[in-house]
Structure 1
């Protein structure tokens, strides 16, 4: 296989020549895995830094072991100063009139638990290296949804481009299809994370953006965590999915499976 071309190769080559540090955000999912495999054939090893935002017990067990097994760089693990459950409880306590759960419109789980800690790491790591130029790389693809279909390959990261730093956000695999992602992983002799045996996506075990199939798989694998989510719905008085509970979404799948059997 010839690896699919990355988006805006001229930008990538320029950043390499200028000695930029490339911070690759790695969730453990298929897109991150394929992105890493492609870019590590282009970017010099010394210019790559891999970062994972640890979500604690709400992320799939073993995902960090999977990342370490499929990369040749050290894995830098960052954590927010709060957990997902603490975030929901705090919002419920301070804003009892609005839904405390994240949604597609208010994705504080992404901003607070992932993007924030990763950007903090980039600032500190650049300072430690004495670096002034960096690229924040993510494995987002256009085919994943209407919102992501509007993304541009390269943008200036205004939050990080301060205090003498020059930082860009870069999405190199925007044009790849799902089939190309899995093919890329297979071509380098690897397999995707085991949850893909049933899952369409890999994020939190119970993601607000997850389909019924993925949510049911999570409940099968982590019944203890499933119970905690249901208890938190009861505690806050709000359902996780805009008027529909996590139980309703999962039990609907299980009912259909039983009927099919």
Structure 2
């Protein structure tokens, strides 16, 4: 793929001071800003919104567009999508394209040159086996990214996106916008409205991250999207998923994994990922095996291999527990 191709929950009290909010008459929802963001926008900096095809980035792009229009921002604007390859829902890029068309922004599509997310997991496993065989480590290391080790986000999204933005906009200050909401998780509840972004900052040039819908609840997200007449990703409307990221994400709840498995587009990916579970003896999510989500989709040989892998995983963990602490 050409990396430059354009193309319920409770509602908590706002943590942003009233003076730091701008209201859209179309959505009547606050957009959180900070003095640092205001200062860069006043200089017509580049505004880049990371989009995944999911509801939060859709709502964020719509709300940000309206806010920028209200304040008279005249700088470059771009949506940017990090394509993770085979692990993506098929509708993710088309959803980003629909959004770009709806708000009238250019869309950049970028990807990791060294391979997609599945290649990264498989390559990581091969490298870890080689390290183990060479006695460079005393325990086998899992192939998967984890909630505490999200190289999937850092390497295949943040690094690729920031490098592409700096290349496309040399010498320009950039505000990188994300549809992060406090309501999504305990970790995100503590995130700031904006912060310096080292990977976009260069000598004498400022880069900021900005989370304009950080205070929104889910109803505001859906109301904004519906008000704009935008079609939601089919993961929500057809398969009942609650979020859109990788089809099978390390952060997904069991119901979302099942939703992804119900989509025929994802079946080849599902089998390939379960094969990696079987070969490595590492479950996809800690002690939760992806193989158990939809075993009927698996060939008999792989189902047998998974049962052996589960036994081997228990034996491996027992042996690893016996390793002297000083070796670890």
TM-score by length of 1: 0.89
Q: Within 1, Cα distance between the matches of 2:54 and 2:75?
A: 23
* Structure 1 segments of 4+ aligned residues over 3 angstroms from their partners: 9-13
Q: Is the 8 A contact 1:101 1:240 kept in 2?
A: yes
| Alignment match of 1:210 (pick from 252, 259, 265) | 252
CA shift at 1:92, angstroms? 1.8
Q: Is the 8 A contact 2:31 2:67 kept in 1?
A: no
Q: Per-residue displacement from partner, 1:199-220 (whole Å, max 9, x unpaired)? A: 1111110001111111111111
Q: Within 2, Cα distance between the matches of 1:142 and 1:31?
A: 12
Paired position in structure 2 for 1:174: 214
Paired position in structure 2 for 1:22: 47
| Alignment match of 1:145 (pick from 185, 210, 213) | 185
Q: Within 1, Cα distance between the matches of 2:169 and 2:204?
A: 11
Q: Is the 8 A contact 1:206 1:215 kept in 2?
A: yes
Q: Is the 8 A contact 2:261 2:293 kept in 1?
A: no
Between Structure 1 and Structure 2, how many residues are aligned? 249
Q: Is the 8 A contact 2:60 2:213 kept in 1?
A: yes
CA shift at 1:11, angstroms? 4.1
Write the mapping of 1:198-237 to structure 2, written as runs, cut at 5 A. Answer: 198-221=240-263, 222-237=266-281
CA shift at 1:89, angstroms? 2.2
Which has the larger Rg?
2
| Alignment match of 1:248 (pick from 288, 292, 295) | 292
Q: Is the 8 A contact 2:77 2:106 kept in 1?
A: no
CA shift at 1:247, angstroms? 1.9
| Alignment match of 2:67 (pick from 35, 42, 46) | 42
Q: Is the 8 A contact 1:3 1:38 kept in 2?
A: no
Q: Per-residue displacement from partner, 1:124-151 (whole Å, max 9, x unpaired)? A: 0121xx42x1101111000000011110
CA shift at 1:250, angstroms? 4.6
CA shift at 1:42, angstroms? 2.1
CA shift at 1:15, angstroms? 2.1
Q: Is the 8 A contact 1:63 1:193 kept in 2?
A: yes
Q: Which runs of 5+ in 1 are unaligned?
A: 252-261
Q: Which runs of 5+ in 2 are unaligned?
A: 1-25, 130-139, 296-328
| Alignment match of 1:84 (pick from 105, 117, 131) | 117
CA shift at 1:9, angstroms? 5.4
Moved more, 89-98 or 190-199: 89-98
Q: Is the 8 A contact 1:53 1:77 kept in 2?
A: yes
Q: Within 1, Cα distance between the matches of 2:79 and 2:65?
A: 11
Q: Per-residue displacement from partner, 1:4-60 (whole Å, max 9, x unpaired)? A: 111125444322211110111011110100011111112246531110000111111
